[in-house]
Amino acid sequence: MTAPRATKPRTPKIREKLPAPQTAEGLLFHYTPHEAAQWTPFSGRTLADMIARREINYVFNGRDNYLTGAQIIALVERYTVKPFAKKPARTAVAA
């Protein structure tokens, strides 16, 4: 006979019908790292770890860490790789 599990796996609570960070309401809305993950290239756990290491801007309310919509947009822009501009081809100069 085995002993019962002491704890059950903790799954983060994600609220429904969240405003998108790009909207006027979403710019100031506070998202948990796991809620913000759907708009970033990172997982919720990675965002939480980045906050703990102070690598990204965040909001601390005395108990929990949050990201505003404006911070999510800035984070996505920070890690977006933009294509190089094409330069005109060089022409050979006759000597």
Please state whether beta strands 65-68 and 59-60 pair in parallel, antiparallel, or not at all (unpaired): antiparallel
Instruction: Give CA separation, 87 vs 28, 67, 82, in Å.
Output: 40, 39, 15
pLDDT digits (tens, 9 = 90+) for 72-86: 999 999 988 888 888
The span from the CA of 94 to the CA of 82, in Å, is 36
Q: Is the pTM of this model over 0.85?
A: no
Tokens describing residue 28: 């100031």
Indicate the helix (H) or strand (E) that contains 24. Answer: helix 24-27
Q: What is the pLDDT of residues 32-79, one digit of tens each?
A: 999 999 999 999 999 999 999 999 999 998 899 999 999 999 999 998
Domain map (residue ranges) of the chain: 24-78
- Confidence check: pLDDT of 20 > 80: yes
Predicted pLDDT at 94: 67
